[in-house]
Amino acid sequence: MKLEVLNIKGEKTGKSVDLSDDIFGVEPNEHVVYLAVKQYLANQRQGTHKSKERGEITGSTKKLKRQKGTGTARAGSIKSPVFRGGGRIFGPRPRNYSQKLNKKVRRLARKSALSSRMQDGNIYVIEDFSFDSPKTKAYLDILNNLGLSDKKTTLVLGDYDNNVYLASRNIPNADVQAASDLNTYQVLNSNALILSEGSLKAIEQTFA
């Protein structure tokens, strides 16, 4: 399948590129996409949550009152969870939330996400560009020229460009990624995917 190449002014350049049917033309597998998104979100969790249980609370171990004859429930420690300032029962502990996913499943999920965006007509190809300095206005002008300033976008570059990244960082809903780092969640989390010409070869090498 072919797509026209635009320049950063949003104008047609007269060029077109062939997108691989093996990457942009597969039948989307929704379950595999679900597994990839679930893995990505799970791996973002730090898992550093922690609350103190009764064995970790600082306090006296002296028995508060006699066992019988008080008319109230027996109590053996000020650190009991039933008292204010006591330990928490079965509180959260640090844990690792990361999940594993087979390499072939991850690859199919990314292909499915890219094919889904292609079917929706939300993939744009632009000429390679760079900034001499990180200017937010310059990046915003590109989005305005493409008619995407009001949408959540992800720009995919062939290689990491620090000036382009810094120029986009202050714009809400604008993301910049290198082709080798692109994942299923980022593709689906954007309304429009902007591919630079240089990223197409990198995508084919990474996802093929």
Residues in the chain: 208
Considering the domain architecture, whether residues 112 and 132 belong to the same structural domain is answered as yes
Handedness of CA 143, 148, 149, 155 (dihedral sign): negative
Structure tokens at 141: 């002008």
Considering the domain architecture, whether residues 123 and 57 belong to the same structural domain is answered as no
For residue 191, give the amino acid letter. Answer: N
Domain coverage including residue 54 = 49-96
Considering the domain architecture, whether residues 121 and 22 belong to the same structural domain is answered as yes
The per-residue pLDDT for 103 is 93
Residue-averaged pLDDT of the chain: 92
Q: Are 135 and 61 in contact (CB under 8 A)?
A: no
Tens of pLDDT along 62-94? 999 999 999 999 999 999 999 999 999 999 999
Tens of pLDDT along 168-194? 999 999 999 999 899 999 999 999 999
Q: Which of 68, 96, 124 is the endpoint of a domain? A: 96
Given a cut of 90, whether residue 205 has pLDDT beyond it is no
Q: Which of 66, 96, 126 is the endpoint of a domain? A: 96
Q: What angle do CA 78, 79, 81 make, to 5 degrees?
A: 110
Q: Which of 96, 114, 133 is the endpoint of a domain? A: 96
Q: Is 9 helix (H, G, I), strand (E, B) or coil?
A: coil
CA contacts within 13 A on the Cβ side of 89:
5
Phi, psi of 185 (to 5 degrees): -60, -45
Structure tokens at 54: 């009764």
Rounded to whole angstroms, the Cα distance separating 38 from 35 reads 5
Considering the domain architecture, whether residues 74 and 166 belong to the same structural domain is answered as no
Using 50, 70 and 90 to split pLDDT, how confident is the model at 151? very high
Considering the domain architecture, whether residues 166 and 196 belong to the same structural domain is answered as yes
Considering the domain architecture, whether residues 126 and 56 belong to the same structural domain is answered as no
Considering the domain architecture, whether residues 82 and 154 belong to the same structural domain is answered as no
CATH label of the domain that carries residue 132: 3.40.1370.10
Considering the domain architecture, whether residues 89 and 116 belong to the same structural domain is answered as no
Using 50, 70 and 90 to split pLDDT, how confident is the model at 51? very high
Please give the tally of structural domains in the chain.
2
Considering the domain architecture, whether residues 117 and 81 belong to the same structural domain is answered as no
Considering the domain architecture, whether residues 149 and 173 belong to the same structural domain is answered as yes
Using 50, 70 and 90 to split pLDDT, how confident is the model at 32? very high
For the chain, what percentages of helix, strand and coil (3-state, to nearest 5) are there? 35, 15, 50
Given a cut of 80, whether residue 1 has pLDDT beyond it is no
